[in-house]
Amino acid sequence: MLRAARSLLPLALLPALLAACGTEEVVVGDREPVAPLPDRAELYARAEALGLAPGLIHVTESPGFTLARQSVGVYGDDGFSAAYRSHENSAQLLLLVDRGTMTAADCPEEPVGRGTGEVVHCERDGETWYRTSAGRHEYAVPEDGHLLRISAAETAVDRGALRAAALHAHRPTDAELAFLLPPRHRDIPPLRGVPVERGDLPPAGDGAPREPVGASG
11-15, 37-41, 124-128, 178-182: least confident range: 11-15
pLDDT higher than threshold 70 for residue 166? yes
Other CB atoms within 10 Å distance of the CB of residue 34 = 15
Q: pLDDT of 172-190, one tens digit each?
A: 999 999 999 988 765 544 4
CA proximity to 149, closest of 122, 113, 106, 105: 113
pTM for the model stands at: 0.71
Q: For position 35, what pLDDT does the model report?
A: 57
In the chain, pLDDT over 70 holds for what percent of residues?
69
Is the preceding omega at residue 36 within 30 degrees of 0, hence cis?
A: yes
Q: Which architecture, in CATH terms, is 59-171? A: 3-Layer(aba) Sandwich (3.40)
Among residues 50, 44, 59, 55, which one has the least CA distance to residue 6?
59
pLDDT of residue 23: 35
How confident is the model over 103-129, as pLDDT tens digits?
999 999 999 999 988 999 999 999 999
- pLDDT of 102 higher than 70: yes
Q: What is the rounded distance in angstroms from the CA atom of residue 157 to the CA atom of residue 125?
A: 18
Q: Of 27-31, 59-63, 76-80, give the lowest mean pLDDT range.
A: 27-31
How is the chain split into domains, by residue range? 59-171
Mapped onto helix, strand or coil, the DSSP state of residue 71 is strand
What does the alpha-carbon distance between residue 74 and residue 72 come to, in Å, rounded to a whole number? 7
> Please, what is the average pLDDT of the chain?
79
Note the residue count of the chain.
217
Lowest mean pLDDT among 36-45, 51-60, 178-187, 193-202: 193-202
Where helices occur in 40-184 by DSSP H, the ranges are 40-49, 159-168, 174-180
Residue 2 has pLDDT above 50, yes or no: no
Ranges 82-96, 103-117, 184-198: which has the least confidence? 184-198
How much is the pLDDT for 156?
A: 96
Q: What is the pLDDT of residue 3?
A: 37
Q: Where are the beta strands (DSSP E) in the chain?
A: 26-28, 32-35, 65-75, 79-86, 92-99, 121-125, 128-133, 136-143, 146-153
Q: pLDDT band for 195, please (50, 70, 90 cuts).
A: very low
Q: What is the pLDDT of residue 118?
A: 92
